[in-house]
Amino acid sequence: AQSVTQPDIHITVSEGASLELRCNYSYGATPYLFWYVQSPGQGLQLLLKYFSGDTLVQGIKGFEAEFKRSQSSFNLRKPSVHWSDAAEYFCAVAARGTGGFKTIFGAGTRLFVKA
Amino acid sequence: EAQVTQNPRYLITVTGKKLTVTCSQNMNHEYMSWYRQDPGLGLRQIYYSMNVEVTDKGDVPEGYKVSRKEKRNFPLILESPSPNQTSLYFCASSSVPGTSGSSSYEQYFGPGTRLTVT
C-alpha cells in the first residue's frame, strides 16, 4: 500500500540556520511528489512539486527539494530559515488508485523558529 | 481570482442531523477531492473525483457521500453525522495531467470547514 512518512513530528531551528525536513514514500512507480505548507489557521499552499526530469526542484519562498529514487525520499531544504517560515509542512504523493489518482499526505512536520 | 470556496466555514451540529458542505472551484479543474485533517494524522483523503459523474473512495470514506453533477461543484454529504466526524475539512481541486497543458496534480485548497458534531 502507498504511504508517506515524515519522521519528525516537530523541528526547531534558529533563524538564519539551514533546514531539512524529511519525507519517505512507499509506491511501486515514480509518483507525483509535493510539499505543501500550512500556516496557523490557514489552508494549504503548494511549495514545490516533482513529477519527472531534474531531481532537484526549486519552489517558492526559497525552498528546494531533492528526489532520490534509491532512497524513496523527497526531502525539503532551505539554506536560511526566516521567522515567517514557522508553519506545518506536509509531504504528499499522488498515486494511481482504482478510479484515478489518490493523494496521500504525511502526518506533517511542525517547524518552530527560534529568534 | 482563481479560488476554491467552501461553505460553511464553521458548523456545529448534533449527531444524526444530515448536513452538506459545499465546495466550488472556478478554475475549470477536472480533479476535485475532500480531505479531513486531524491532529497528528495529517490530511486523509475522503473521496475524489476525476471528472463529472466519476468519483472514487479515498482512504477514509465511511460515513460520507459525494456527488459530482457539475464540473465546478463537489459537495460533501454527511447523512448521519457522528462525533468521530468532528474535524477540519478541506476541499481541493487540480487539473489532470495531459489536459489543458497540465503536468501534475498540483492541488489548490479551499480555506477549510471546521465541523463539530455533538
Would you tell me which residues 59-88 of chain A have a C-beta closer than 8 angstroms to some C-beta of chain B?
none
Residue pLDDT, tens place only, B23-48: 999 999 999 999 999 998 999 999 99
Query: How many Å apart are CA B118 and CA B107, to the nearest integer?
Result: 31
> What percent of chain B is modeled with pLDDT above 70?
93
Q: State whether residue A32 sits within 8 Å of chain B by CB.
A: yes
Written as tens digits, the pLDDT of chain B (118 aa) is 889 999 999 999 999 999 999 999 999 999 999 999 999 899 999 999 988 998 999 999 999 999 999 999 999 999 999 999 999 999 999 987 666 555 567 899 999 999 999 9
Query: Which residues have C-beta within 8 Å of that of residue B53, sequence separation ≥ 6?
Result: B68, B69
Mean pLDDT on A65-92 = 95
Contact residues on chain B for A45, CB-CB shorter than 8 A: 109
Q: State whether residue B107 sits within 8 Å of chain A by CB.
A: yes
Mean pLDDT on A68-79 = 95
- In chain A the first and final C-alpha atoms are separated, in Å, by 41
| Predicted local distance difference test score (pLDDT) of residue B99 | 60
**Residue B102 in grid coordinates:** 497540465
Query: How many Å apart are CA B26 and CA B79, to the nearest integer?
Result: 27
Q: Which of B5, B43, B57, B88 to mutate to test the interface with A (most CBs of A within 10 A)?
A: B43
Q: State whether residue B54 sits within 8 Å of chain A by CB.
A: yes
| Predicted local distance difference test score (pLDDT) of residue A94 | 87
Residue pLDDT, tens place only, A24-51: 998 877 788 999 999 988 889 999 999 8
Q: Which of B33, B52, B95, B107 to mutate to test the interface with A (most CBs of A within 10 A)?
A: B107
Q: State whether residue A49 sits within 8 Å of chain B by CB.
A: yes
Side chain identity at residue B31, one-letter code: Y
Query: How many Å apart are CA A66 and CA A73, to the nearest integer?
Result: 8
Q: Check A46 against B107: CB less than 8 A apart.
A: yes
Mean pLDDT on A57-73 = 94
